[in-house]
Amino acid sequence: MEPTSVEKKYNKWIVILSIAIPVAVAILFGVRIPNVEPLSFLPPLYASINGLTAVFLVAAVIAVKNKNLVLHEWLMKVCIGLSVAFLVMYVAYHMTSDSTPFGGEGSIKYVYYFILITHIILSIAIIPLVLITYVRALSKRFDKHKKLAKITFPLWLYVAVTGVVVYLMISPYYA
């Protein structure tokens, strides 16, 4: 089935954003703004945003299962907005603060790094999945939207939940 004009219109932006966001985050992660106080209040804030995203994702699935499509659409837009807010805060924090090393020892260290690495990899993979899923809804190709959403939802939920878990595991080691 050919992409609709709406999908064609957004496809190049999906590709650009799917590449630009992770590259920009990687570059900005290494940039420090000189003579600026660390924004140490941000990690609990952006971890809370991840938690809210998880709650709203589950609520959105419940809404669509109950055929409340208006609520579903609103909740999904909120989730995308929360993800953008998270990204801005995350980059701002890391541009003003050094990374905090994990101080746990033994098997918990391996658990932490497994969760962190899968969180990072899937947070990159989720960008095009969310954007494509959203554009399919915009194009009113709900059969394709639903099919992809069944993949996107659990991955996005994993990223949101593990964002909170990573924060809780690293927070005792913040300076």
Q: Is residue 9 part of a domain?
A: no
Name the residue range of residue 157's domain: 40-173
pLDDT of residue 64: 97
Q: Is residue 169 part of a domain?
A: yes
- Which amino acid, residue 133? T
Q: Is residue 108 part of a domain?
A: yes
CATH of the domain at 89: 1.20.120.80
Q: Per the structure, how many domains does the chain have?
A: 1
Q: Is residue 92 part of a domain?
A: yes
**pLDDT digit string (tens) for 136-170?**
999 999 999 999 999 999 999 999 999 999 999 99
Q: Which residue has the tokens 């899923």?
A: 133
- Give the H/E segment covering residue 174: none
CA 29 – CA 98 distance, rounded (Å): 9
Q: Is residue 109 part of a domain?
A: yes
* Number of C-beta neighbours around residue 43 at 10 A: 20
